[in-house]
Amino acid sequence: MSTYVIGDPQGCAASFDALLERVAFDPRGDRVWVVGDLVNRGPDSLGVLRQIIALGQSATVVLGNHDLHLLAVSAGVRESGRGDTLDAVLAAPDADALLAWLRRRPMAHRECVAGIDVLMVHAGVLPGWTTDDTMRHAAELEVALRADDWRDTLASLFGNQPDRWSDTLTGLDRLRMIVNALTRVRYCSDDDRIDFKAKDAPAAIGAHFPPPPAGYRAWFDNETRRTRGSLVVFGHWSTLGVMVRDDVIALDSGCVWGGSLTAIRLEDRALFQIACPQASRPG
């Protein structure tokens, strides 16, 4: 049995299918994890959803910011944006079933694989959170998204405030901070404050990138980070690309921008990639 983790598909169904073929994925014994952003910007978000749902129990996904955006648009609490490619999902005859399935996906997944404690999230975690904290906060958000008033919750989840975590946060402010940490974070300070503007990778990754905002570091390089005892697997940060370290694995290699779709086999860290045609332009 092998466990493959795949970076952000973002509606690139043909590439997703080709990558499963590349790894000779067998749903009878293998498992596939997807780090979120199943949909949007690519040409076939409907296809990606149906492919993953068809994999049944062999597939595990966490929600990304584009997945939450789709849910908010479907609920009528957010407008479609320029460049969105969600119409086919919203118009599908089985749209209600697809969206109900998506809304019930976890915000974080934790499992021991090959003797290693692995935590999968879409974007990252705050330095002050332990792995246990992350799972507990993810569960808070999951309960809210599965409740009868989920539309009201979604209507209030989008925004940049508060930008710093505190255990004293309550209500929608607390949920908004949790969702931003799990699905949007790139740079944050040692005291759990998120910068929402910088999207370039750290200069150490690519010399042509500017330095991070003053007082901020890539979330995984904060010296105070309390999840170092787990292997954190994430996507979201396409300019960062693929990065494999003992403590973190980044897998968004920009498939929708004409990069590649990447999978890693957790048991031996083998990488597999499929070159992708450009489906959208950054910006």
Higher pLDDT, residue 208 or 263: 263
Collapse the DSSP code of 232 into the 3-class scheme (helix H, G, I; strand E, B; otherwise coil) and give the result.
strand
- Percentage above 70 pLDDT, the chain: 96
How far apart, in whole angstroms, are the C-alpha atoms of residue 223 and residue 162? 23
The confidence score (pLDDT) of residue 206 equals 55
The confidence score (pLDDT) of residue 279 equals 78
**Any domain includes 63:** yes
259: pLDDT strictly greater than 90: yes
The confidence score (pLDDT) of residue 223 equals 86
Omega prior to 162 cis, within 30 of 0: yes
**Any domain includes 60:** yes
**Any domain includes 280:** no
Type of residue found at 175: L
Place of tokens 């904060």: 222
The confidence score (pLDDT) of residue 203 equals 67
Q: What are the tens digits of pLDDT across the range 76-94?
A: 999 998 899 999 999 999 9
Q: Average per-residue pLDDT in the chain? A: 95
Tokens of 269: 């860290």
Q: Tally Cβ neighbours within 10 Å of residue 60.
A: 18
41-57: average pLDDT:
97
How far apart, in whole angstroms, are the C-alpha atoms of residue 156 and residue 177? 11
DSSP 275: E
**Any domain includes 282:** no
Exposed (0-12), middle (13-18) or buried (19+): which is 208, by Cβ within 10 Å? Answer: exposed
142-167: average pLDDT:
97
**Any domain includes 250:** yes
The confidence score (pLDDT) of residue 205 equals 59
Higher pLDDT, residue 153 or 213: 153
193-211: average pLDDT:
79
**Any domain includes 180:** yes
- Asked if 95 and 89 touch (Cβ cutoff 8 Å), the reply is yes
The confidence score (pLDDT) of residue 280 equals 76
Q: What is the domain extent for residue 40?
A: 3-275
Q: What are the tens digits of pLDDT across the range 210-258?
A: 788 899 999 999 988 999 999 999 999 999 999 999 999 999 999 999 9
How many helices and strands (H and E) does the chain possess?
A: 8, 13
How far apart, in whole angstroms, are the C-alpha atoms of residue 274 and residue 116? 27
Tokens of 169: 């946060």
> Considering its fold, how many domains does the chain have in total?
1
Tokens of 198: 């910088």
**Any domain includes 283:** no
CATH of the domain at 88: 3.60.21.10
pLDDT band for position 202 (cuts 50, 70, 90) = confident
pLDDT band for position 283 (cuts 50, 70, 90) = low
Q: In residues, how long is the chain?
A: 283
pLDDT band for position 191 (cuts 50, 70, 90) = very high
How far apart, in whole angstroms, are the C-alpha atoms of residue 271 and residue 7? 11
**Any domain includes 215:** yes
Q: Supply the pTM of this predicted model.
A: 0.96
How far apart, in whole angstroms, are the C-alpha atoms of residue 48 and residue 202? 31
182-199: average pLDDT:
95
Dump the DSSP string for 143-184: HHHHSTTHHHHHHTS-SS-S-B--TT--HHHHHHHHHHHHHT
